[in-house]
Chains A and B, each alone.
Chain A
Amino acid sequence: MIEFYNVNLDINRVGILRNISFRIVKGEFTFLIGPSGAGKSSIIRMIYMDVFPISGMVVVDRYSSAKIRRREISMLRRKIGVIFQDFKLLTDRSVFDNVAFSLHVVGERNKEIKRRVLKVLAEVNLSHKRNQYPDELSGGEKQRVAIARAIVNNPIIVLADEPTGNLDYASSVEIMNILERINKQGTAVLMATHDAALLKKYSHRQISIDQGVLNKK
Chain B
Amino acid sequence: MKIWFSFIEGIRNIKRAKLASTITITSVAFAHLLIGVFLLFSVNINQIIGDVRSKIELEVFLEADLSVKSGRSVEKKIIGLEGVKDVKYISKEDAAKRFQEEFGRNIYEVLTFNPLPSSCTVKVKKGYRNYSFIKKLSTEIGRIDGVDEVKYQKQILSLIDRYITIVYAIAAAAGIILIIIAIVLLYNTIRLTIYGRKDLIDIMKLVGATKTMIKRPFIVEGFVEGLFGALIASVILYGSILLIKRYIYPYVVNAVEIYIILLISGATIGIIASGMSLVRHLKEI
Footprint of B on A, CB under 8 Å? 48, 50, 70-71, 74-78, 82, 88, 90, 92, 101-102, 104-107, 149, 153
Q: Are A74 and B1 in contact (CB under 8 A)?
A: no
- Asked if A107 and B206 make an inter-chain contact with CB atoms under 8 angstroms apart, the answer reads no
User: Which B residues are in CB contact (< 8 Å) with A153?
Assistant: 207-208
CB–CB B199/A82 < 8 A: no
A110 to chain B, nearest CB (A): 9
Chain A residue nearest to B16 in the complex (CB): A92
Q: What's the least CB distance linking A120 to chain B, in Å? A: 13
Cα–Cα, bound, A77→B209 (Å) = 8
Are B2 and A105 in contact, CB atoms less than 8 angstroms apart?
no
B residues less than 8 Å from A107 (CB atoms): 1-2
Residues of A within 8 A of B202 (CB): 88
Contact of B207 with A101 in the complex, beta carbons under 8 Å: yes
Interface size of B by CB at 8 A reads 18
Q: B200 touching A105 by the CB < 8 A rule? A: no
Which residue of chain B has the shortest Cβ distance to A100 in the bound complex? B5
Q: Decide if B200 touches A90 in the complex (CB within 8 Å).
A: yes
Check B166 for interface membership: any CB of A closer than 8 A.
no
A99–B137 CA distance with the chains assembled, in angstroms: 79
Interface string of B27-69 (1 = CB under 8 A from A): 0000000000000000000000000000000000000000000
Shortest CB-to-CB span from A198 to chain B, Å, is 24
Tally of A-B Cβ pairs under 8 angstroms? 49
Nearest 4 A/B pairs, CB to CB: A102-B207, A78-B208, A77-B208, A105-B209
* Contact between chains at A106 and B2 (CB < 8 Å): no
| A153 and B203 alpha carbons, distance in the complex (Å) | 14
- What residue of chain B has the Cβ atom nearest to residue A152's Cβ? B207
CA distance A74 to B205 in the complex (A): 7
Question: Are A105 and B199 within 8 A (Cβ)?
Answer: no
Q: Nearest-CB distance from B201 to chain A (Å)?
A: 11
A104-B1, A104-B5 given as contacts; is B203 within 8 A of A77 (CB)?
no
Known: A104-B5, A105-B1. A48 touches B206 (CB 8 A): yes
Give Cα A139–Cα B11 distance, bound, in whole angstroms.
30
Residue B211, interface by CB 8 Å: yes
18 contacts between A and B (CB under 8 A): A48-B206, A50-B205, A70-B211, A74-B210, A77-B206, A78-B208, A88-B199, A88-B203, A90-B199, A92-B16, A101-B203, A101-B207, A102-B203, A104-B1, A106-B207, A106-B209, A107-B2, A149-B207
Cβ distance B207 to chain A, nearest Cβ, rounded Å? 4
The reply on B213 being an interface residue by CB < 8 A is: yes
Residue of B nearest to A50 (CB): B205
B204 CB-CB contact with A under 8 Å? yes
Q: For the complex, what is the distance from the CA of A104 to the CA of B207, rounded to whole Å?
A: 10
CB neighbours of A76 from chain B (8 A): 208
Distance of A81 Cα from B211 Cα, bound (Å) = 19
| B2 with A74: CB separation less than 8 A | no
Pick the contact of A104 from B2, B200, B206, B211 — CB < 8 Å? B2
CB distance from A52 to the nearest CB of B (A): 15
A105 and B208 within 8 A (CB): yes
**Residues on the B chain within 8 Å of A70, using CB:** 211
Q: How far is the CB of B52 from chain A (nearest CB, A)?
A: 60
Give bound CA distance, A122 to B204, whole Å: 24
Residues of chain A within 8 A (CB-CB) of B207 are 77-78, 101-102, 105-106, 149, 153
Which of A90, A104, A107 has the most B CB atoms < 10 Å from its CB?
A: A104
Residue of B nearest to A110 (CB): B2
Collect the chain A residues with CB atoms within 8 Å of residue B206's CB: 48, 77, 82, 88
Task: Provide the bound-state CA to CA distance between A47 and B1, in Å.
Answer: 24
C-alpha gap A75/B213 in the complex (Å) = 13
A-chain residues with CB within 8 Å of residue B211 when the two chains form the complex: 70
Which of the listed residues A70, A105, A107, A149 has the most CB atoms from chain B within 10 Å of its own CB?
A105
In B1-26, the 8 Å CB interface with A consists of 1-2, 5, 12, 16
A105→B6 CA distance, assembly (Å)? 9
Chain A neighbourhood of B213, CB < 8 A = 105
Residues in B with CB closer than 8 Å to A105 are 1, 204, 207-209, 213
Report the separation of the CA atoms of residues A78 and B207 in the bound assembly, to the nearest whole angstrom. 6
How distant is the Cα of A211 from the Cα of B211 in the complex, in angstroms? 34
Q: List, in ascending order, chain A residues with CB within 8 A of B5's CB.
A: 104
**How far is A90 from B198 in the complex, measured between Cα atoms in Å?**
11
Residue of A nearest to B206 (CB): A82
Q: Which residue of chain A has its CB nearest to the CB of B3?
A: A107
Closest partner residue, chain A, to B210 (CB atom): A74
